[in-house]
Structure 1
Amino acid sequence: MTQGMKAAVLFETGKPLQVVEGVQLPALESGQVQVKVHYSGLCHSQLAEVRGHRGEDKWLPHLLGHEAVGTVKAIGSGVTKVKEGDKVVLGWIKGQGMDVAGARYPLALNGQSYLLNSGGVTTFSEQTIVSENRLVTLPQGMPDKLAVLLGCALPTGMGLVFNEAKLLPDDDASQGKSIAIFGLGGVGLSALIAAYATKPKTLIAIDVEAHKLELAKQLGATHCINLSTQDLDTELKRICPQGVDYSFEAGGKAKTIEMAFRSVKDGGGQCIFASHPQEGELIQLEPHAFHRGKHIRGSWGGGSQPDRDIPYFVELYNAGRLPNLALLLSHEYSLDDINQALDDLEQRKITRALINVST
């Protein structure tokens, strides 16, 4: 065993995370990498897990978190992708390298002994053991705080545009499109940034929070629709009477997926959704819309390949093609304040939370 560390642990769904000291790091197994976590992201996936919206959780107690930046402290046998001292991005999307099971962390707490479960990557702890294929060496040029977004928000959101829709910067065929973004969290805003880079004719941002819509304007939206005060169909008919060429959905609800599908034009309009509605929610779509040529499909992580896409995203950033990226990180919290971050996210007070694990 190595020294104990601080970590946020989910012991029971529907209850706050417990931030505890003394979590032990087990010995590395083949294909595993030990990483000191500097910054972690926080998104609705963790919120859904903590609140119990994913259904029964068979792995309690366990660690969480799936996007971070850190430094490699040690590698297990067979690991060739990274070495000790490398700055790395941690993410949930599988890339190159060995794919191994998550570690189990011993913890003695209040007279009881636990083995904390984890997946191939977790990030709400001072150190973590990660599967080799959940790491990518961080290219030079992007600050650590922004690089956290490379673990989930950017690959998923930008991947919707670049990988799934095949809309690319500097591609003449990609320019001049009409695009709608539903849901302006970290993924939706990342999709908006990517869409703006393709030089669309119309870029519509759609949400229920005025402050997020104001942010969308700064990131390139040509139009904004506030669903809490405006009627979607009326506003869309005014802006794009025939419907949009593409809609990208990251609102997290079956209702927003339905709206995104309704917004695309007949004869080839594409709706691509990334969100994961609450367990048990179903989407209802007009059958005849498919006969009229509308399309819809889901996306798993924006179709991203981390080892290919993360260097490309950093290249775009270094070239000044991702303006105002720092605006996505609206608030920074310490690990001790992670439950406040979850509450703020649930209450839609923030876009993307940054957890400073080093403090």
Structure 2
Amino acid sequence: MTAAILMEHNKPLMILNNIVTPKLKKGQALVKMNYAGLCHSQLMEISGLRGEDKYLPHLLGHEGVGVVVDVGEQVAKIKIGDEVILGWIKGFGLEGGATQYQTTDGLRVNAGSVTTFSDYTVVSENRVVKKPRHTPSELSVLYGCAIPTGLGMVLNTVPENFSGTVAFLGLGGIGLSALLSAKLRNFKKIIAIDVNSEKLALAKMLGATHCVNSKIENVIECVRMLTDGGVDYCFESAGLAKTIELGFNVVRRNGGKCIFASHPAHHEKISLDPFELICGKKIEGTWGGESVPDSDVKKFDKFYQKKLLPLEKLISKKYSLENINHAVDDLKNKEIVRALIKCAE
């Protein structure tokens, strides 16, 4: 088995090809990985910004697609030969727990209930769903994290008949996935906010009615000029405490709501003006877009079949597993939206 291992923080992932696949426990499956997605969460882990990491060295990755090659006891949702989507959001089925791998020279490597940066992986039954019919494997990777979290936080929190103003703050994989709701809902104004002009151009293509470059424009002033004092909803996914605060500041009083998917560095705290809360502004976080993978992935697939989800626009570039550190650098330097890692030849 070959895998990209986080040996220590702020160092390139180490590619090891002498890892022994452990015996499956109850509730686990062995999957031959085809593709994995790389997102901001892995950058945070690699940089040590998630707080104390007790499990080094360990595997990474939490969205991917592969084929089941073996199942442990009492696994009933999937069978050998099924093509499946792996994701971090818990679904139905058994929790198989953590896994410990070992190399042929005795190094122990830890892994959680789902990891994807390897050619084979052990995963809990509750972290997989069968790949739906219409979405290609390469694009189905996005159903493991980006789409359920991003699109989910819009579709699962905003009433279907809502037709007001919305803002999307941060146009990475999650933010652009959220923006895809533009084709699914009848929003009056859709404001995209980011520091990257190329991402703003992509947002315009995906349905944004207005774009604000926060690098050169005053976001709060721009949003207030475009709306009646602020948007009804702001969906924030830029990854920083200060952008969560900004998201709160651009929603209107008397009912405006900031919904954030960001998970900033462990030590960061947000600071809000209590008076704005008294004036009716609201804020809440979202856990995986409140998605239920076993049912929501089927809905996403139907949207794709109807040509309502241009998922291909979110995949910037493909990388081999051996070149995953190039993908990490490109994502860190904001040169890509989402990297697709080809896990096996």
TM interval, short-chain normalised:
over 0.9
Report the AA paired with residue 80 of structure 1. A
Q: Are the counterparts in 2 of residues 125 and 357 from structure 1 also a CA contact under 8 Å? A: yes
C-alpha separation in 1, matches of 2:312 and 2:174: 14
Report the AA paired with residue 180 of structure 1. A
Deviates more, 1:190-199 or 1:46-55: 190-199
TM score, norm. by length of structure 2 = 0.98
Report the AA paired with residue 305 of structure 1. V
C-alpha separation in 1, matches of 2:311 and 2:33: 22
C-alpha separation in 2, matches of 1:219 and 1:200: 13
C-alpha separation in 2, matches of 1:167 and 1:315: 20
Q: Are the counterparts in 2 of residues 161 and 195 from structure 1 also a CA contact under 8 Å? A: no
Residues 1:189 and 2:181 aligned together: no
Q: How much has 1:234 moved relative to structure 2?
A: 1.9
Q: Which position in structure 1 is the counterpart of 2:23?
A: 27
Q: Which position in structure 1 is the counterpart of 2:136?
A: 143
Q: Are the counterparts in 2 of residues 102 and 129 from structure 1 also a CA contact under 8 Å? A: no
Q: Which position in structure 2 is the counterpart of 1:42?
A: 38
Q: How much has 1:84 moved relative to structure 2?
A: 0.4
Residues 1:64 and 2:60 aligned together: yes
C-alpha separation in 2, matches of 1:45 and 1:137: 24
Q: Which runs of 4+ in 1 moved over 4 A?
A: none
TM score, norm. by length of structure 1 = 0.94
1:100-158: per-residue Cα shift (whole Å, max 9, x none)?
2121111135xxx2111100000000000000000000110100111000000000001
Which ranges in structure 1 are unaligned for 5 or more consecutive residues?
A: none
Which ranges in structure 2 are unaligned for 5 or more consecutive residues?
A: none
Q: Are the counterparts in 1 of residues 87 and 128 from structure 2 also a CA contact under 8 Å? A: yes
Q: Which position in structure 1 is the counterpart of 2:293?
A: 306
Q: Which position in structure 1 is the counterpart of 2:187?
A: 200
Q: Are the counterparts in 1 of residues 62 and 86 from structure 2 also a CA contact under 8 Å? A: yes
State the number of aligned residues: 345
Report the AA paired with residue 55 of structure 1. G
SS state of the match for residue 100, structure 1? Answer: coil
Q: How much has 1:196 moved relative to structure 2?
A: 3.8
Report the AA paired with residue 273 of structure 2. E
Q: How much has 1:195 moved relative to structure 2?
A: 3.9
* The one of 309, 333, 338 aligned to 1:347: 333
Q: Which position in structure 2 is the counterpart of 1:292?
A: 279
Q: 1:167 to 1:356 in 2, by over 3 A?
A: farther
Residues 1:103 and 2:99 aligned together: yes
- Alpha carbon RMSD of aligned pairs, Å? 1.0
Q: How much has 1:167 moved relative to structure 2?
A: 3.6
* The one of 108, 118, 121 aligned to 1:128: 121
* The one of 9, 15, 24 aligned to 1:13: 9
Identical-pair percentage: 49
C-alpha separation in 1, matches of 2:257 and 2:4: 40
Q: Are the counterparts in 1 of residues 183 and 308 from structure 2 also a CA contact under 8 Å? A: no
Report the AA paired with residue 332 of structure 1. K
Residues 1:224 and 2:216 aligned together: no
